[in-house]
Chain A
Amino acid sequence: MASKNERLSPNLEGKIALITGAAQGMGAAHARRLAASGATVVVNDRDASPQLSALAAELSGLAAPGDVSDPDQVAALVERVRNELGDIDILVSNHAFMTMAPFLEADLDEWWKIIDTNLGGTFHLVQAVLPGMRRRGAGRIVVIASEWGVIGWPDATAYSASKAGLISLVKTLGRELAPEGIIVNAVAPGVTDTPQLEVDALSAGISLAEMHAQYAAEIPLGRIAQPSEIAAAVALLSDFRLSAIIGQVVQVNGGSTRTRA
């Protein structure tokens, strides 16, 4: 681990990064990692919370709660950041909503809420940050997809569809925005040690420790990921010296998929 004063590569001094879904788990790790590279971080989650405020305070950043599935709230959020800090250079679209159910038992409203939050939320965010990135003449957008968006998963139709949709969105925006110096990519994490695993364990009717062991057994590296290991890939894709990775999906999963996303 780097000491507190040591800047990690890449150098993001002077850059403003917005990270969604940052109150806990992976989002908080991305915020910490980009802050460790010198970025000023804006941490978002759906609701204001002591957790979110504490993270912002820890990183000398800004807490900007708001529901990303609501385009008006997203526009207001980005406007607020512009007024208080400036235009956003880096967007890490990390928020996600998930429930699991066999296909025919899935509640239709819930199904659409997953799509509207995960896929729609990212769409709204990209639309809102683009004018600022264009003013800056460059930008980095990193979308957190999922292993399940690449290979699919039983009882997760909406989630997998939303994440696969994000991958196609990333590929398209990668092509569309690269000529402007705005580089768009995705990270597809495998099973990661976040509070989400408690939901999985509950759904499977087993303990959290059993859930960890069950997932780890399926991963060649023999363990699940730490959030910081996903954040490392986010930092790579936030590097303004690296423009040649475009519309790609970086799979960080301990070797579970070994496929092209």
Chain B
Amino acid sequence: MANKVAIVTGTASGIGAATAAELESRGWKVAGFDLRPSPQCSFDLCVDMADPHAVAAAVSRVTQELGHVSAAVSAAGYYEMIPISDISREKWTKMLSVHVGGMLNLSRAVLPAMQEAGDGAIVAVTSELAIGGGSEDAHYAAAKGALIGLVRSLAIESAPHGIRVNAVAPGPTDTPLLAADSPWRAPEYLATLPLGRLTSPEEVALCVAFLLSEGTFLVGEILNPNAGAVI
């Protein structure tokens, strides 16, 4: 366990950064991928997760430099609210290529070696909005919902190889993805949550770490640290 290698994407900030920190504290060797440098990671690469070739090259480099990759976490993403009529084709395609494509590209790059080893775990970070939807969230929710379908299908396909694929669907989380004036930070919204506050990136990281380690019988499951937003 002490020397296992995990790739985490979106490690420049927020959930990805918290996940990398939690995994490192548990003895994992973590490779952080992000568009920008990930200063908290001891090993990081700048990678566009929407680009399959770049992702494949980055995963090869991690394998060469750190060793066999036995876990991968797809946390890279972004958030924007746009009314449905104003979502341009470009914005729609970009949303899908980063969130669904990011998980797809990462999985395709890490799975062959995991299959050979007969062991591995992959976690995708989706969203509470994939389940409940939200106003002006059509493209984000569609991408995160597609991610759930991808995770569950990949989960049954990979389970016979000893590889577990699962997801975490956080509620609004206290990260830079939520602007200071985001409606998800408004006191009126927070008052509707049973917990009365945003989910913290550290709480999401605890869920991811569990799915990668002790959660050995969870397959195609979604953990929901969402402060009670969707029950």
Contacts and interface: CB of A to CB of B under 8 A. Distances in A.
A253 B155 CA distance: 12
Interface string A240-261: 0111111110111111001010
B224 interface: yes
A107 to B, nearest CB: 33
A205 interface: no
Contact of A171 (B200, B210, B216, B231): B231
Interface in B185-231: 194-196, 199-200, 202-204, 206-207, 210, 214-228, 231
B54 to A, nearest CB: 31
A233 B194 contact: no
Interface in A197-242: 220-222, 225-226, 229-230, 232-233, 235-236, 239, 241-242
Given A235-B214, A242-B207, A254-B159, A178 B194 contact: yes
Nearest to B131: A260
Interface residues of A, number: 35
Contact of A232 (B214, B228, B231): B214
Given A220-B160, A236-B207, A229 B227 contact: no
A179 B197 CA distance: 10
The contact size tier of chain B is 35 or more
A186 B115 CA distance: 32
A80 interface: no
Contacts, number: 116
B166 to A, nearest CB: 9
A contact patch SS:
loop
Interface of B: 26, 131, 152, 155-156, 159-160, 164, 170-171, 194-196, 199-200, 202-204, 206-207, 210, 214-228, 231
19 contacts: A175-B228, A175-B231, A222-B160, A225-B217, A229-B217, A232-B216, A233-B210, A233-B215, A236-B215, A242-B206, A244-B226, A245-B223, A245-B225, A246-B227, A248-B224, A252-B218, A255-B219, A255-B221, A258-B152
Given A253-B219, A253-B221, 16 more contacts: A174-B228, A178-B195, A179-B194, A220-B219, A232-B214, A235-B214, A241-B203, A242-B203, A242-B206, A244-B200, A245-B224, A248-B224, A250-B221, A251-B218, A255-B221, A260-B131
